Amino acid sequence: MGEKIYDVFISYRRDGGSDTAKHLRDLLVRDGYSVCFDIDTLREGRFDEALLRRVDECTDFILVVDKRCFNRTVDGSCKPEDDWLRTELARALHMRKNVVPVLLAGAVFPGNLPDDIKEVKWHSGPTHSQEYFDQFYEKLKEYLHSRPSHTPRWVSWLKRHLSAIIILLLLVALGIVLMKGGMLPFLKTVTPFDTVAQLAEDGDTVPEALLHQMSAQEQPVIQTAFPVEQKQEEPVQKSSASVSVRQEKGNLLFTVNGVEFKMVKVEGGTFWMGATKNEDEDALADESPRHKVTLSDYYICETEVTQGLWKVVMGYDVEDFKGNNYPAYNVSYSDVQKFIMELRTISGRWFRLPTEAEWEYAALGGRKSKGYRFSGSNNLNEVAWCGNCDDIQRVKRKKGNELGIYDMSGNVEEWCSDWYGEYNENSVVNPKGPEKGYHDCVVVRGGSIMSDPEEDFRIKSRAYTSPSQRGSFLGFRLVMEMEQ
Protein backbone atom coordinates (compact mmCIF):
# COMPACT_ATOMS: atom_id res chain seq x y z
CA MET A 1 0.00 0.00 0.00
CA GLY A 2 1.19 3.49 -0.77
CA GLU A 3 1.41 6.22 1.82
CA LYS A 4 -1.64 8.48 2.02
CA ILE A 5 -1.05 11.63 -0.01
CA TYR A 6 -4.50 13.19 0.03
CA ASP A 7 -6.93 13.70 2.90
CA VAL A 8 -9.92 14.36 0.66
CA PHE A 9 -10.95 13.30 -2.86
CA ILE A 10 -13.69 15.44 -4.45
CA SER A 11 -15.77 13.81 -7.20
CA TYR A 12 -18.19 15.82 -9.35
CA ARG A 13 -19.69 16.26 -12.81
CA ARG A 14 -17.99 18.97 -14.80
CA ASP A 15 -21.25 20.07 -16.36
CA GLY A 16 -23.10 20.41 -13.05
CA GLY A 17 -21.16 20.49 -9.79
CA SER A 18 -17.79 21.94 -10.78
CA ASP A 19 -18.30 25.40 -9.24
CA THR A 20 -19.27 23.97 -5.86
CA ALA A 21 -16.44 21.44 -6.04
CA LYS A 22 -13.87 24.15 -6.78
CA HIS A 23 -15.20 26.31 -3.96
CA LEU A 24 -14.97 23.41 -1.50
CA ARG A 25 -11.46 22.57 -2.72
CA ASP A 26 -10.27 26.13 -2.11
CA LEU A 27 -11.77 26.29 1.38
CA LEU A 28 -10.46 22.86 2.44
CA VAL A 29 -6.94 23.65 1.17
CA ARG A 30 -7.11 26.97 3.02
CA ASP A 31 -7.99 25.07 6.20
CA GLY A 32 -5.05 22.70 5.88
CA TYR A 33 -6.55 19.64 4.14
CA SER A 34 -4.73 18.04 1.22
CA VAL A 35 -7.27 17.67 -1.57
CA CYS A 36 -7.31 15.71 -4.83
CA PHE A 37 -9.64 17.70 -6.97
CA ASP A 38 -9.27 17.89 -10.73
CA ILE A 39 -8.46 15.20 -13.28
CA ASP A 40 -6.39 17.83 -15.09
CA THR A 41 -3.71 17.32 -12.44
CA LEU A 42 -3.23 13.69 -13.57
CA ARG A 43 -0.76 14.25 -16.36
CA GLU A 44 1.78 11.45 -15.90
CA GLY A 45 1.42 7.70 -16.48
CA ARG A 46 -1.90 5.93 -16.99
CA PHE A 47 -4.82 8.16 -16.13
CA ASP A 48 -7.12 5.36 -14.91
CA GLU A 49 -4.50 3.81 -12.60
CA ALA A 50 -3.51 7.20 -11.17
CA LEU A 51 -7.15 8.13 -10.58
CA LEU A 52 -7.98 4.94 -8.68
CA ARG A 53 -4.75 5.15 -6.73
CA ARG A 54 -5.77 8.59 -5.48
CA VAL A 55 -9.15 7.24 -4.40
CA ASP A 56 -7.36 4.39 -2.59
CA GLU A 57 -5.05 6.83 -0.79
CA CYS A 58 -7.65 9.30 0.44
CA THR A 59 -9.46 9.14 3.79
CA ASP A 60 -12.61 11.06 2.83
CA PHE A 61 -14.51 10.98 -0.49
CA ILE A 62 -16.78 13.98 -1.09
CA LEU A 63 -19.37 13.44 -3.84
CA VAL A 64 -20.94 16.62 -5.26
CA VAL A 65 -24.35 15.63 -6.65
CA ASP A 66 -26.26 17.96 -8.95
CA LYS A 67 -29.78 17.19 -10.22
CA ARG A 68 -28.48 15.71 -13.51
CA CYS A 69 -25.53 13.91 -11.94
CA PHE A 70 -26.65 10.32 -12.58
CA ASN A 71 -28.82 10.83 -15.70
CA ARG A 72 -26.28 9.34 -18.12
CA THR A 73 -25.44 6.59 -15.65
CA VAL A 74 -28.97 5.23 -15.30
CA ASP A 75 -30.17 5.78 -18.90
CA GLY A 76 -27.16 3.92 -20.31
CA SER A 77 -26.05 6.76 -22.60
CA CYS A 78 -22.63 6.73 -20.91
CA LYS A 79 -20.73 3.45 -20.99
CA PRO A 80 -19.46 2.32 -17.56
CA GLU A 81 -15.84 2.46 -18.72
CA ASP A 82 -16.30 6.11 -19.75
CA ASP A 83 -18.24 7.15 -16.63
CA TRP A 84 -15.44 8.41 -14.40
CA LEU A 85 -17.67 9.65 -11.59
CA ARG A 86 -19.23 6.17 -11.36
CA THR A 87 -15.76 4.57 -11.47
CA GLU A 88 -14.50 6.83 -8.67
CA LEU A 89 -17.59 6.30 -6.51
CA ALA A 90 -17.64 2.51 -6.99
CA ARG A 91 -13.98 2.33 -5.98
CA ALA A 92 -14.55 4.49 -2.88
CA LEU A 93 -17.49 2.33 -1.77
CA HIS A 94 -15.57 -0.90 -2.37
CA MET A 95 -12.56 0.37 -0.40
CA ARG A 96 -14.88 1.48 2.44
CA LYS A 97 -13.87 5.12 2.26
CA ASN A 98 -15.77 7.72 4.25
CA VAL A 99 -18.17 8.73 1.47
CA VAL A 100 -19.87 12.09 2.14
CA PRO A 101 -22.51 13.06 -0.46
CA VAL A 102 -23.33 16.76 -0.94
CA LEU A 103 -26.69 17.13 -2.68
CA LEU A 104 -27.14 20.45 -4.49
CA ALA A 105 -30.53 22.13 -5.03
CA GLY A 106 -33.02 19.75 -6.64
CA ALA A 107 -30.68 16.74 -6.49
CA VAL A 108 -31.86 13.30 -5.37
CA PHE A 109 -30.49 9.79 -5.72
CA PRO A 110 -32.38 7.87 -8.42
CA GLY A 111 -33.97 4.61 -7.32
CA ASN A 112 -32.37 2.60 -10.15
CA LEU A 113 -28.68 3.23 -9.52
CA PRO A 114 -26.38 0.41 -10.74
CA ASP A 115 -25.44 -2.26 -8.19
CA ASP A 116 -21.84 -1.08 -7.86
CA ILE A 117 -22.85 2.37 -6.56
CA LYS A 118 -26.37 2.03 -5.13
CA GLU A 119 -24.96 1.79 -1.57
CA VAL A 120 -24.26 5.54 -1.75
CA LYS A 121 -27.95 6.15 -0.94
CA TRP A 122 -27.28 4.94 2.60
CA HIS A 123 -24.45 7.42 3.21
CA SER A 124 -25.27 10.73 4.85
CA GLY A 125 -23.88 14.21 4.35
CA PRO A 126 -24.69 17.81 5.23
CA THR A 127 -27.52 19.69 3.54
CA HIS A 128 -26.09 22.08 0.98
CA SER A 129 -27.25 25.66 1.24
CA GLN A 130 -26.06 28.54 -0.92
CA GLU A 131 -27.77 31.05 1.38
CA TYR A 132 -26.23 29.60 4.57
CA PHE A 133 -23.06 28.30 2.97
CA ASP A 134 -20.80 29.00 5.95
CA GLN A 135 -22.96 26.86 8.23
CA PHE A 136 -23.05 24.11 5.58
CA TYR A 137 -19.26 24.17 5.20
CA GLU A 138 -18.62 23.91 8.95
CA LYS A 139 -21.06 20.99 9.09
CA LEU A 140 -19.28 19.32 6.18
CA LYS A 141 -15.99 19.33 8.09
CA GLU A 142 -17.69 17.51 10.96
CA TYR A 143 -18.38 14.62 8.55
CA LEU A 144 -14.71 14.28 7.60
CA HIS A 145 -12.51 11.68 9.32
CA SER A 146 -9.23 13.26 8.21
CA ARG A 147 -7.71 16.16 10.11
CA PRO A 148 -6.12 19.21 8.48
CA SER A 149 -2.38 19.77 8.50
CA HIS A 150 -0.92 23.25 8.23
CA THR A 151 2.56 22.00 7.45
CA PRO A 152 4.13 21.68 3.98
CA ARG A 153 3.67 18.33 2.26
CA TRP A 154 7.34 17.36 2.53
CA VAL A 155 7.16 17.90 6.31
CA SER A 156 4.05 15.73 6.53
CA TRP A 157 5.80 13.05 4.51
CA LEU A 158 8.80 13.14 6.85
CA LYS A 159 6.60 13.03 9.93
CA ARG A 160 4.76 9.95 8.64
CA HIS A 161 8.04 8.06 8.62
CA LEU A 162 9.45 9.31 11.92
CA SER A 163 6.51 9.95 14.21
CA ALA A 164 5.83 6.32 15.14
CA ILE A 165 9.39 5.75 16.34
CA ILE A 166 9.61 9.08 18.16
CA ILE A 167 6.25 8.67 19.92
CA LEU A 168 7.04 5.11 20.89
CA LEU A 169 10.39 6.02 22.43
CA LEU A 170 8.91 9.00 24.28
CA LEU A 171 5.99 7.01 25.67
CA VAL A 172 8.16 4.11 26.78
CA ALA A 173 10.50 6.54 28.54
CA LEU A 174 7.60 8.47 30.05
CA GLY A 175 5.93 5.24 31.16
CA ILE A 176 9.06 4.08 32.96
CA VAL A 177 9.49 7.43 34.70
CA LEU A 178 5.85 7.70 35.76
CA MET A 179 5.61 4.08 36.89
CA LYS A 180 8.56 4.64 39.17
CA GLY A 181 7.09 7.89 40.43
CA GLY A 182 3.62 6.49 41.13
CA MET A 183 1.95 8.85 38.67
CA LEU A 184 0.12 6.24 36.61
CA PRO A 185 -3.26 8.05 36.36
CA PHE A 186 -1.60 10.72 34.24
CA LEU A 187 -1.05 8.12 31.51
CA LYS A 188 -4.77 7.90 30.88
CA THR A 189 -4.50 10.84 28.52
CA VAL A 190 -1.48 9.57 26.59
CA THR A 191 -1.60 7.10 23.65
CA PRO A 192 -0.39 7.15 20.05
CA PHE A 193 -3.10 4.73 18.94
CA ASP A 194 -6.36 6.32 17.82
CA THR A 195 -8.13 2.97 17.82
CA VAL A 196 -7.23 2.24 21.42
CA ALA A 197 -8.27 5.73 22.41
CA GLN A 198 -11.66 5.31 20.77
CA LEU A 199 -12.25 2.03 22.57
CA ALA A 200 -11.20 3.39 25.93
CA GLU A 201 -12.39 7.00 25.97
CA ASP A 202 -15.66 6.02 27.65
CA GLY A 203 -14.03 3.59 30.07
CA ASP A 204 -14.25 0.60 27.71
CA THR A 205 -11.66 -2.13 28.09
CA VAL A 206 -9.07 -2.71 25.38
CA PRO A 207 -9.52 -6.16 23.76
CA GLU A 208 -6.72 -8.55 24.65
CA ALA A 209 -6.38 -9.50 20.97
CA LEU A 210 -5.72 -5.86 20.14
CA LEU A 211 -3.08 -5.68 22.84
CA HIS A 212 -1.30 -8.74 21.44
CA GLN A 213 -0.99 -7.05 18.06
CA MET A 214 1.20 -4.33 19.60
CA SER A 215 4.93 -4.59 20.01
CA ALA A 216 6.60 -5.68 23.22
CA GLN A 217 7.59 -2.06 23.91
CA GLU A 218 4.07 -0.72 23.37
CA GLN A 219 2.17 -3.29 25.45
CA PRO A 220 3.27 -2.15 28.94
CA VAL A 221 2.43 1.46 28.10
CA ILE A 222 -1.08 0.59 26.92
CA GLN A 223 -1.65 -1.75 29.85
CA THR A 224 -0.73 1.09 32.17
CA ALA A 225 -2.80 3.67 30.33
CA PHE A 226 -6.06 1.77 29.85
CA PRO A 227 -7.92 -1.15 31.45
CA VAL A 228 -7.30 -4.31 29.42
CA GLU A 229 -9.74 -7.20 29.45
CA GLN A 230 -8.35 -10.11 31.43
CA LYS A 231 -8.81 -13.71 30.36
CA GLN A 232 -10.54 -15.64 33.09
CA GLU A 233 -9.93 -19.32 33.47
CA GLU A 234 -13.43 -19.79 34.87
CA PRO A 235 -15.68 -16.83 33.96
CA VAL A 236 -18.57 -16.35 36.35
CA GLN A 237 -21.98 -16.83 34.77
CA LYS A 238 -24.64 -14.19 35.24
CA SER A 239 -27.43 -15.40 37.46
CA SER A 240 -29.97 -14.08 34.95
CA ALA A 241 -28.50 -16.06 32.05
CA SER A 242 -29.33 -19.66 31.27
CA VAL A 243 -26.58 -21.23 29.15
CA SER A 244 -26.23 -24.83 28.02
CA VAL A 245 -24.01 -26.61 25.53
CA ARG A 246 -24.07 -30.04 23.97
CA GLN A 247 -22.04 -31.86 21.34
CA GLU A 248 -23.57 -32.68 17.99
CA LYS A 249 -21.46 -34.68 15.50
CA GLY A 250 -18.27 -32.97 16.64
CA ASN A 251 -19.87 -29.52 16.68
CA LEU A 252 -21.03 -27.56 19.74
CA LEU A 253 -24.63 -26.41 20.08
CA PHE A 254 -25.06 -23.53 22.55
CA THR A 255 -28.35 -22.28 23.97
CA VAL A 256 -28.45 -18.87 25.68
CA ASN A 257 -31.79 -18.03 27.28
CA GLY A 258 -33.56 -20.14 24.67
CA VAL A 259 -31.59 -18.85 21.65
CA GLU A 260 -29.52 -21.54 19.92
CA PHE A 261 -26.36 -21.14 17.85
CA LYS A 262 -24.00 -23.77 16.50
CA MET A 263 -20.20 -23.65 16.53
CA VAL A 264 -18.93 -25.79 13.66
CA LYS A 265 -15.65 -27.65 14.14
CA VAL A 266 -13.00 -26.74 11.57
CA GLU A 267 -10.13 -29.18 11.30
CA GLY A 268 -6.90 -27.28 10.88
CA GLY A 269 -4.67 -27.62 7.85
CA THR A 270 -2.51 -25.80 5.33
CA PHE A 271 -3.92 -23.77 2.43
CA TRP A 272 -2.94 -21.08 -0.06
CA MET A 273 -4.29 -17.73 1.06
CA GLY A 274 -4.90 -14.96 -1.47
CA ALA A 275 -5.21 -14.95 -5.26
CA THR A 276 -3.48 -13.65 -8.38
CA LYS A 277 -4.75 -12.39 -11.75
CA ASN A 278 -3.60 -15.66 -13.32
CA GLU A 279 -6.05 -17.56 -11.09
CA ASP A 280 -8.88 -15.05 -11.06
CA GLU A 281 -9.26 -12.10 -13.41
CA ASP A 282 -11.16 -10.21 -10.70
CA ALA A 283 -8.33 -10.55 -8.16
CA LEU A 284 -7.11 -7.19 -6.82
CA ALA A 285 -3.57 -6.21 -5.88
CA ASP A 286 -4.18 -6.60 -2.15
CA GLU A 287 -4.94 -10.33 -2.64
CA SER A 288 -1.33 -10.98 -3.67
CA PRO A 289 1.07 -12.55 -3.13
CA ARG A 290 -0.47 -15.97 -2.50
CA HIS A 291 1.14 -17.46 0.56
CA LYS A 292 0.95 -20.69 2.51
CA VAL A 293 -0.95 -20.58 5.83
CA THR A 294 -1.22 -23.31 8.43
CA LEU A 295 -4.02 -23.21 11.02
CA SER A 296 -4.82 -25.23 14.13
CA ASP A 297 -8.29 -26.68 14.80
CA TYR A 298 -10.98 -24.19 15.83
CA TYR A 299 -14.75 -23.67 15.93
CA ILE A 300 -16.60 -21.07 13.85
CA CYS A 301 -20.24 -19.99 14.09
CA GLU A 302 -22.56 -21.68 11.60
CA THR A 303 -24.19 -18.32 10.82
CA GLU A 304 -23.58 -14.67 11.44
CA VAL A 305 -24.50 -13.65 14.99
CA THR A 306 -28.22 -13.06 14.94
CA GLN A 307 -30.28 -10.20 16.34
CA GLY A 308 -31.95 -12.69 18.69
CA LEU A 309 -28.61 -13.76 20.19
CA TRP A 310 -27.50 -10.15 20.47
CA LYS A 311 -30.62 -9.27 22.44
CA VAL A 312 -30.34 -12.08 25.02
CA VAL A 313 -26.63 -11.39 25.56
CA MET A 314 -26.66 -7.58 25.58
CA GLY A 315 -30.18 -6.97 26.92
CA TYR A 316 -31.23 -4.64 24.09
CA ASP A 317 -32.03 -4.81 20.37
CA VAL A 318 -29.64 -3.73 17.66
CA GLU A 319 -30.58 -0.61 15.74
CA ASP A 320 -33.18 -1.31 13.03
CA PHE A 321 -34.30 -4.59 14.62
CA LYS A 322 -35.85 -6.85 11.97
CA GLY A 323 -36.28 -10.19 13.72
CA ASN A 324 -34.49 -12.80 15.79
CA ASN A 325 -33.16 -14.74 12.79
CA TYR A 326 -31.69 -11.75 10.96
CA PRO A 327 -27.97 -10.95 11.30
CA ALA A 328 -26.99 -8.36 13.90
CA TYR A 329 -25.61 -5.37 11.99
CA ASN A 330 -24.94 -1.66 12.44
CA VAL A 331 -22.36 -2.73 15.06
CA SER A 332 -18.85 -1.25 15.33
CA TYR A 333 -15.69 -3.16 16.23
CA SER A 334 -16.01 -1.83 19.78
CA ASP A 335 -19.69 -2.90 19.96
CA VAL A 336 -18.68 -6.40 18.89
CA GLN A 337 -15.94 -6.60 21.52
CA LYS A 338 -18.45 -5.68 24.23
CA PHE A 339 -20.78 -8.41 23.01
CA ILE A 340 -17.96 -10.97 22.99
CA MET A 341 -16.84 -10.08 26.52
CA GLU A 342 -20.44 -10.38 27.75
CA LEU A 343 -20.87 -13.77 26.05
CA ARG A 344 -17.59 -15.01 27.53
CA THR A 345 -18.76 -14.08 30.98
CA ILE A 346 -22.14 -15.79 30.80
CA SER A 347 -20.94 -18.90 28.89
CA GLY A 348 -17.51 -19.56 30.37
CA ARG A 349 -16.07 -20.02 26.85
CA TRP A 350 -13.42 -17.91 25.14
CA PHE A 351 -15.21 -16.57 22.06
CA ARG A 352 -13.57 -14.03 19.74
CA LEU A 353 -13.65 -12.69 16.18
CA PRO A 354 -12.02 -14.85 13.49
CA THR A 355 -8.64 -13.90 12.13
CA GLU A 356 -8.66 -13.10 8.42
CA ALA A 357 -6.93 -16.43 7.74
CA GLU A 358 -9.47 -18.39 9.81
CA TRP A 359 -12.31 -16.64 7.99
CA GLU A 360 -10.92 -17.44 4.52
CA TYR A 361 -10.09 -21.06 5.39
CA ALA A 362 -13.60 -21.68 6.76
CA ALA A 363 -15.21 -19.95 3.75
CA LEU A 364 -13.18 -22.22 1.45
CA GLY A 365 -14.54 -25.28 3.24
CA GLY A 366 -11.39 -26.18 5.17
CA ARG A 367 -10.09 -29.69 4.42
CA LYS A 368 -13.33 -30.44 2.54
CA SER A 369 -12.82 -27.56 0.12
CA LYS A 370 -13.80 -28.11 -3.51
CA GLY A 371 -12.11 -24.89 -4.61
CA TYR A 372 -15.27 -22.91 -5.23
CA ARG A 373 -15.13 -19.23 -6.21
CA PHE A 374 -17.84 -18.37 -3.68
CA SER A 375 -18.40 -19.97 -0.28
CA GLY A 376 -20.14 -23.25 -1.13
CA SER A 377 -20.59 -23.00 -4.90
CA ASN A 378 -19.50 -21.52 -8.21
CA ASN A 379 -23.15 -20.59 -8.73
CA LEU A 380 -23.56 -17.40 -6.72
CA ASN A 381 -27.36 -17.64 -6.51
CA GLU A 382 -27.11 -20.96 -4.68
CA VAL A 383 -25.25 -19.52 -1.71
CA ALA A 384 -25.73 -15.74 -1.63
CA TRP A 385 -28.31 -12.99 -1.86
CA CYS A 386 -27.30 -10.86 -4.82
CA GLY A 387 -29.17 -8.50 -7.07
CA ASN A 388 -32.54 -10.07 -6.22
CA CYS A 389 -33.12 -8.37 -2.87
CA ASP A 390 -32.87 -4.86 -1.50
CA ASP A 391 -32.40 -5.61 2.18
CA ILE A 392 -30.75 -7.92 4.70
CA GLN A 393 -32.14 -11.47 4.69
CA ARG A 394 -32.66 -14.03 7.44
CA VAL A 395 -29.68 -16.30 8.02
CA LYS A 396 -29.40 -19.85 6.71
CA ARG A 397 -31.86 -19.50 3.83
CA LYS A 398 -29.30 -20.30 1.14
CA LYS A 399 -27.13 -23.38 0.65
CA GLY A 400 -24.29 -23.89 3.13
CA ASN A 401 -20.67 -24.57 2.15
CA GLU A 402 -18.69 -27.80 2.44
CA LEU A 403 -18.49 -27.43 6.25
CA GLY A 404 -22.15 -26.55 6.70
CA ILE A 405 -21.45 -22.84 7.25
CA TYR A 406 -23.89 -20.29 5.84
CA ASP A 407 -23.86 -16.77 4.34
CA MET A 408 -20.09 -16.31 4.13
CA SER A 409 -20.69 -14.81 0.70
CA GLY A 410 -23.04 -11.84 0.92
CA ASN A 411 -25.91 -10.77 3.20
CA VAL A 412 -23.78 -8.74 5.65
CA GLU A 413 -20.05 -8.07 5.55
CA GLU A 414 -18.21 -9.53 8.54
CA TRP A 415 -15.65 -8.10 10.97
CA CYS A 416 -12.35 -9.95 11.38
CA SER A 417 -9.85 -9.41 14.21
CA ASP A 418 -6.88 -8.39 12.01
CA TRP A 419 -5.65 -4.95 11.17
CA TYR A 420 -5.71 -4.47 7.39
CA GLY A 421 -2.32 -4.68 5.68
CA GLU A 422 -0.38 -6.14 2.79
CA TYR A 423 0.24 -9.85 2.35
CA ASN A 424 3.76 -11.21 2.00
CA GLU A 425 4.98 -14.44 0.45
CA ASN A 426 6.27 -16.04 3.67
CA SER A 427 4.62 -19.20 5.03
CA VAL A 428 2.94 -18.54 8.38
CA VAL A 429 1.28 -20.50 11.20
CA ASN A 430 -1.88 -19.16 12.88
CA PRO A 431 -1.28 -15.56 11.69
CA LYS A 432 -2.86 -12.67 13.62
CA GLY A 433 -2.31 -9.96 10.99
CA PRO A 434 0.00 -6.92 11.04
CA GLU A 435 0.82 -4.94 14.19
CA LYS A 436 -0.83 -1.84 12.82
CA GLY A 437 -3.40 -1.23 10.10
CA TYR A 438 -3.35 0.71 6.86
CA HIS A 439 -5.19 3.95 7.73
CA ASP A 440 -5.83 2.33 11.18
CA CYS A 441 -8.46 0.10 9.57
CA VAL A 442 -9.65 -3.43 10.35
CA VAL A 443 -10.35 -6.24 7.85
CA VAL A 444 -13.94 -7.02 6.83
CA ARG A 445 -14.83 -9.98 4.62
CA GLY A 446 -17.57 -11.61 2.58
CA GLY A 447 -19.32 -8.68 0.91
CA SER A 448 -22.87 -7.53 1.61
CA ILE A 449 -26.04 -7.27 -0.45
CA MET A 450 -24.84 -3.77 -1.43
CA SER A 451 -21.49 -5.01 -2.77
CA ASP A 452 -20.52 -6.02 -6.30
CA PRO A 453 -21.56 -9.71 -6.27
CA GLU A 454 -19.10 -11.13 -8.80
CA GLU A 455 -16.13 -9.26 -7.35
CA ASP A 456 -16.76 -8.74 -3.63
CA PHE A 457 -18.57 -12.01 -2.87
CA ARG A 458 -15.52 -14.03 -3.91
CA ILE A 459 -13.89 -15.88 -1.00
CA LYS A 460 -10.55 -14.22 -1.70
CA SER A 461 -11.88 -10.65 -1.88
CA ARG A 462 -10.70 -8.30 0.90
CA ALA A 463 -12.04 -5.02 2.27
CA TYR A 464 -11.41 -2.82 5.28
CA THR A 465 -13.02 -0.09 7.34
CA SER A 466 -12.50 2.02 10.44
CA PRO A 467 -13.11 0.24 13.79
CA SER A 468 -15.60 2.98 14.66
CA GLN A 469 -17.72 2.31 11.56
CA ARG A 470 -21.30 1.15 12.11
CA GLY A 471 -22.14 0.12 8.57
CA SER A 472 -25.71 -0.52 7.51
CA PHE A 473 -24.60 -3.91 6.20
CA LEU A 474 -21.76 -4.79 8.59
CA GLY A 475 -22.09 -7.73 11.01
CA PHE A 476 -19.92 -10.55 12.40
CA ARG A 477 -19.62 -14.21 13.33
CA LEU A 478 -17.81 -15.89 16.23
CA VAL A 479 -14.79 -18.16 16.54
CA MET A 480 -13.75 -20.28 19.51
CA GLU A 481 -10.43 -22.06 19.96
CA MET A 482 -10.34 -25.78 20.71
CA GLU A 483 -10.10 -26.50 24.42
CA GLN A 484 -6.77 -28.01 25.47
Q: What is the pLDDT of residues 355-396, one digit of tens each?
A: 999 999 999 999 999 999 999 999 999 999 875 566 889 999
Nearest to 325 by CA among 347, 301, 305: 305
pLDDT at 239: 40
The strand order across the sheet containing 291-295 reads: 269-273, 291-295, 428-429
pLDDT the model gives residue 213:
53
pTM over 0.95: no
Do 348 and 234 touch, CB atoms closer than 8 A? yes
25 confidence band (pLDDT: 50, 70, 90): confident
**Amino acid letter for position 296:** S
Q: Which helix (H) or strand (E) holds 61?
A: strand 60-65
Q: Is 176 helix (H, G, I), strand (E, B) or coil?
A: helix
**Alpha helices (H) along 238-321:** 307-314
What's the burial of 254, exposed, middle or buried (CB within 10 Å: 0-12/13-18/19+)?
A: buried
Helices 153-181/218-225 angle, 10° precision: 70
User: Could you tell me the domains of the chain?
Assistant: 8-143 (3.40.50), 153-225 (no CATH), 243-481 (3.90.1580.10)
Prior bond of 289 cis (ω within 30°): yes
* pLDDT tens by residue, 161-178: 566 667 778 877 776 766
